[in-house]
Amino acid sequence: MVPQPPTSKSSPPPAGNSSLSPPGKKYKNCFSKVFAFGDSYTDTGNAHFMGGLGSFLSFSHSAYGSTFFKKPSNRLCDGRLVIDFLTEALGLQYLSPYKATSVNFTYGCNFAIAGSTSFSKNYFLRNKIGHSLMWKAAPESFKTQSDWFKMFLSNVECEGLDDASCKSKLKEVLFWIGSMGISDYTRFFGFTISKTWLTNIAVDHVCQLVKATLEKGAKYIVVQGLPPAGCLPCDLSLSKPNDRDEMGCSASANLMIMKHNELLQKSLKEIQKTYPSCMIVYADLWSAFKTILMNPTKFGIQETSKTCCGCGGGNLNFDSQNLCGSTGATVCDDPSKYISWDGVHLTEAMNQHLTDLLLHQGYCQPSFDQLVSHRKSN
């Protein structure tokens, strides 16, 4: 079964979250469903059901899910993800992963796969890329999610409908394309490649997915940029001590992500010109993350670079060969005071702060309120 929010009052925000905006009702009934895509920051179970994370993290038998669900929830987090807080704000239930054995697609579907990349499995196997870090199995490509989406429309959402009727139905759906590309940059770490080449491929695959949804009838799309992953324990542990930017993060990693985000925004503007009747919103995860990182106490954060659940101790408490869920891993007393949950993924508290900034504090361009207003007037 897919974990769902309590049927009574919404759970209180994590301790120290005085900056969070009140839930309100202004987004309720705006969208009948949400279709989500992305990587581990958005995946609510697909990688788990596919067996793709067995060698990455033993998250089904550890502290994952302990903060909110009180049990493993097939999410790479101690609790909820941004997509979960989004569906709460919209008054919808949490999204069922496409590959779940017991499914309820009444409120939408989640196609995101943890570890997704722009390249095919064969590419990684042929070039022996990515096996030196935390991953042992070859990843799924973003194309898999696009293929799933098309099959879902044919077999579930639009079964028996003609093309025009299907497109009309999708006008009531919010398409949320979560962060996609971090796995590309992390898996190629240490390889001598053209960074421009990699960025162009990563952004192009995100845009291909955006176009695939538009061609099928998507009218409202939110596309997340990448966060400054160079600030997370994983990248900090892999980079050299002198490779630091003004935030104290891996300068080389963040430079690639900044270029990715710049190219993505430029590309989305071009796509918008081709589909003027649709609304494409860029969710600036980089700026939202940086706002929290540079003002941690405002958000109740005490540890900006240390892993809550991990091994190794020290300033990072991160070991790429012994992750959260491994024997000997320790879990912090209060995850809400941490940005990073396991060195790679974020805590529920961080996800909640990011969602608040994206939805309520103007970190989307155009703003999420503008998207909702457009939906209500059409």
Q: Which long-range contacts (CB under 8 A, 24 or more apart) does 204-208 make?
A: 204/118, 204/267, 205/118, 205/141, 205/142, 205/143, 205/180, 206/142, 206/177, 206/180, 206/181, 206/264, 207/264, 207/267, 207/268, 207/271, 208/142, 208/143, 208/146
Q: Is 2 left (phi over 0), alpha (psi -120 to 50) or beta?
A: beta
Tokens in use for 327? Answer: 């024997």
In the residue annotation, 345 being an active-site residue is answered as yes
Domains of the chain: residue spans and CATH: 33-302+346-376 (3.40.50.1110)
- Quote the pLDDT of residue 10: 37
Which of 78, 284, 342, 356 is catalytic? The answer is 342
Bond from prior residue into 23 cis (ω within 30 degrees of 0): no
Q: What's this model's pTM, rounded to 2 decimal places? A: 0.90
Tracing tokens 């139905």 back to the chain, one arrives at: 169
Please tell me the distance from the alpha carbon of residue 286 to that of residue 307, in angstroms, as a whole number.
20
> Is residue 366 packed enough to be buried (19+ CB in 10 Å), middle (13-18) or exposed (0-12)?
middle
- Quote the pLDDT of residue 4: 52
In the residue annotation, 334 being an active-site residue is answered as no
- Quote the pLDDT of residue 128: 58
- 176, containing H or E segment: strand 173-177
Tokens in use for 211? Answer: 């176009």
Write the DSSP string, 177-202.
Answer: E----HHHHHHTTT----HHHHHHHH
Contact yes or no for 349/338 (Cβ under 8 A): yes
Which of 345, 353, 356, 360 is catalytic? The answer is 345
- 87, containing H or E segment: helix 82-89
Please tell me the distance from the alpha carbon of residue 298 to that of residue 296, in angstroms, as a whole number.
5
- Quote the pLDDT of residue 54: 56
Q: How far is Cα of residue 363 from the mean position of the Cα atoms in its chain?
A: 16
Q: Tens of pLDDT along the chain (378 residues)?
A: 455 543 333 333 343 344 455 555 789 989 999 999 999 999 999 988 887 665 445 555 578 999 999 988 899 999 999 999 999 999 999 999 999 977 889 999 999 999 888 765 566 555 555 544 444 555 677 889 999 999 999 999 999 999 999 999 999 999 999 999 888 777 766 666 788 988 999 999 999 999 999 999 999 999 999 999 999 999 999 899 999 999 999 999 999 999 999 999 999 999 999 999 999 999 999 999 999 999 999 999 999 999 999 998 899 999 988 889 888 889 999 999 999 999 999 999 999 999 999 999 999 999 999 999 999 998
In the residue annotation, 243 being an active-site residue is answered as no
- Quote the pLDDT of residue 52: 66
- Among 217, 209, 210, 211, smallest CA distance to 164 is for 217
| Per-residue model confidence as pLDDT tens digits over 212-241 | 999 999 999 999 999 999 999 999 998 999
Phi, psi of 367 (to 5 degrees): -70, 155
Please tell me the distance from the alpha carbon of residue 202 to that of residue 168, in angstroms, as a whole number.
31
